[in-house]
C-alpha cells in the first residue's frame, strides 16, 4: 500500500549554518549554469576584433540536431598547475586599434598595453605583420598556442629582429587576460552571496540538514 510521508522543508535563510553550506555545495555541484562563461567569451570576441584578431571557429552540434559555429576558445581551471586559456586565430594589422580599445575598455590598462605593443611593432614593420595561432596538446593555457609570425613585404624585406617575439608575447598576454577574467567571474558566481541569491530566487527548498528537497 502506498504511504504518505510528510516532510518539513526549509528555505535557505531558515537553515543552520552547516545546512546552508550543504545547500550551497549542492547548487555549485549540480545546479550551477555550465554556460556561465558565455558573456566573457562574447566580450573576448569583441576585444579580439578590435585588436585585429579573426578568431577561428568550429562546428558545435545543437540539441535540436543542427550545428552552429563557435569561436575556438578553450580554458581549464581554476585549481591546478597548467590551467589557463587559449584560442586559435589569425592576426593582422587593424587601424585605430589603440583608440578603439580605449573607448571599449577605458579602465583596462592591460588591454591598452597589448594594443600599444602591437601597434609599435607593426609600425616598425610598415604594418605588414600577420600571425596565426593554433592550439596544440591536451592542455589549455597560453603556451599551448603554436604561433607563427610572418611579414608580407612586397620587396621581401625581413621582419625586424624583435617582431616575432613581440607578437607572440602579445597574443599570449591576451590569453592570460582572458583567463583572469574567467577566473574572476567564476569566483563571483560561486561566491556565497551569488549562490544564496540564486537559491532564493529559484525558491529551492531543503530538508533540515540542507539536502535538496524535490
Residue 161: enclosing H or E segment and its boundaries? none
Answer yes or no: do 200 and 125 share one domain.
no
Q: Is the dihedral of CA 3, 211, 27, 67 positive or negative?
A: negative
Answer yes or no: do 99 and 202 share one domain.
no
Answer yes or no: do 142 and 164 share one domain.
yes
Answer yes or no: do 152 and 182 share one domain.
yes
Answer yes or no: do 111 and 162 share one domain.
yes
Domain assignment of residue 200, given as a range: 1-32+192-214
**pLDDT tens, residue by residue, 143-153:** 999 999 999 99
Answer yes or no: do 67 and 154 share one domain.
yes
**pLDDT tens, residue by residue, 85-104:** 999 999 999 999 999 999 99
pLDDT at residue number 30: 78
Beta-carbon contacts of residue 156 (< 8 Å; ≥ 6 apart): none
Answer yes or no: do 22 and 95 share one domain.
no
- Number of domains, the chain: 2
pLDDT at residue number 195: 93
Answer yes or no: do 86 and 181 share one domain.
yes
Answer yes or no: do 94 and 5 share one domain.
no
Answer yes or no: do 94 and 162 share one domain.
yes
Answer yes or no: do 156 and 175 share one domain.
yes
Answer yes or no: do 3 and 57 share one domain.
no
Low-confidence ranges of the chain (pLDDT < 50): none
Q: What is the pTM of this model?
A: 0.89
Amino acid at each position: 500500500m502506498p504511504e504518505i510521508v510528510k516532510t518539513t522543508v526549509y528555505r535557505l535563510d531558515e537553515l543552520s549554518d552547516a545546512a546552508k553550506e550543504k545547500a550551497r555545495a549542492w547548487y555549485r555541484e549540480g545546479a550551477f549554469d555550465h554556460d556561465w562563461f558565455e558573456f566573457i567569451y562574447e566580450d573576448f570576441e569583441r576585444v579580439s576584433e578590435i585588436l585585429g584578431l579573426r578568431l577561428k571557429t568550429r562546428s558545435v552540434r545543437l540539441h535540436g540536431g543542427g550545428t552552429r559555429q563557435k569561436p575556438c576558445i578553450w580554458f581549464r581551471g581554476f585549481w591546478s598547475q597548467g590551467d589557463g586559456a587559449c584560442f586559435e586565430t589569425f592576426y593582422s594589422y587593424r587601424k585605430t586599434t589603440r583608440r578603439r580599445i580605449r573607448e571599449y575598455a577605458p579602465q583596462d590598462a592591460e588591454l591598452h598595453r597589448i594594443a600599444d605593443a602591437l601597434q609599435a611593432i607593426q609600425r616598425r614593420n610598415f604594418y605588414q605583420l600577420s600571425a596565426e595561432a593554433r592550439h596544440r596538446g591536451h592542455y589549455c593555457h597560453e603556451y599551448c598556442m603554436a604561433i607563427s609570425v610572418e611579414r608580407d613585404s612586397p620587396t621581401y624585406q625581413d621582419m625586424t629582429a624583435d617582431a616575432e617575439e613581440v607578437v607572440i608575447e602579445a597574443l599570449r598576454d591576451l590569453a592570460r587576460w582572458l583567463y583572469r577574467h574567467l577566473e574572476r567571474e567564476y569566483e563571483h558566481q560561486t561566491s556565497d552571496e551569488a549562490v544564496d541569491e540564486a537559491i532564493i530566487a529559484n525558491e529551492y527548498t531543503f530538508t533540515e540538514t540542507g539536502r535538496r528537497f524535490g
